[in-house]
A and B are shown apart, each in its own frame.
Chain A
C-alpha cells in the first residue's frame, strides 16, 4: 500500500531535549516536505526536499533541521525544542515538485507537546 509513515504519532517532551520525528514513503517520490498545523493558521511549510541531498527552508524553518540522505526518508529534527513548537506535524511527498499539490500524499501526523 502506498503511504507516508510518520513516527511517533504522539510525543510529549521537555524544553531542550533533542528529538527526531521520522518520515518514510514507499512510493519512490522525489519531493518531500514537512508542515506544521496550528489552530487558525493552517498548514505552514517548515522544510522541503526536491531530491536526495537537496533540502531548502520553507516558511517557518527556525528551530528545525532536516536531512535527506535516502530518497525514502526525510526526518525532522528539533535540536532544542521549545514550547512554541508544540504543534501537529505532517510529512508529505509527491512524485516530483513539478506537481501543483494535487499529488501530495500526507502522513497521519505527529502531535508534539513541548513542556
Chain B
C-alpha cells in the first residue's frame, strides 16, 4: 500500500541555524498533512498542518512547504533551539477523518550547542 516516508532518519544542526526536515508521500489523493513533534518519553504533539490547496504555511518559527508535483513535504524550523531536539514526523490524511491518518517513520533532530 502507499505510505508516507522520510528521507533521513537523523539530522544534526547547530543551535541558531535553520533546520529542514523532509517527507515524501506517495498517495496523490492525500489532501491534508500534519507535522508532529515527539519529545523523548512523550507522545506526539501537533506542530503545524497544511491543506493540499496551499503551497506554504507559516507558524511560529516553523514553516511547512508542500510540493504536490513531486509529492514532497518539508518542515523548516528557524533559529533552532535545544528544545527543538525531538523526533519529527509527518502524517497524511485521506478522507477527512482522524481514522484515516497515515504516519511517517520520523526524523531525529539533534541540536548541537
Contacts and interface: CB of A to CB of B under 8 A. Distances in A.
A4 interface: yes
Nearest to B45: A106
Contacts of B45: 106
Contacts of A35: 103
A40 B105 contact: yes
Given A4-B43, A107-B43, A109-B41, A98 B97 contact: yes
A102 B43 contact: no
Interface residues of B, number: 24
Interface residues of A, number: 29
Nearest to A41: B105
Contacts of B75: none
A108 B99 CA distance: 20
Contact of A97 (B3, B41, B42, B98): B98
Interface stretch (B14-22, B62-70, B76-84, B88-96): B88-96
Contacts of B4: 42
B96 A42 contact: no
Q: Which of B3, B34, B43, B91 has the most CB of A within 10 A?
A: B43
Interface of A: 4, 31, 33, 35, 39-45, 48, 58, 90, 92, 94, 97-109
Interface of B: 3-4, 32, 34, 41-46, 49, 89, 91, 93, 96-99, 101-106
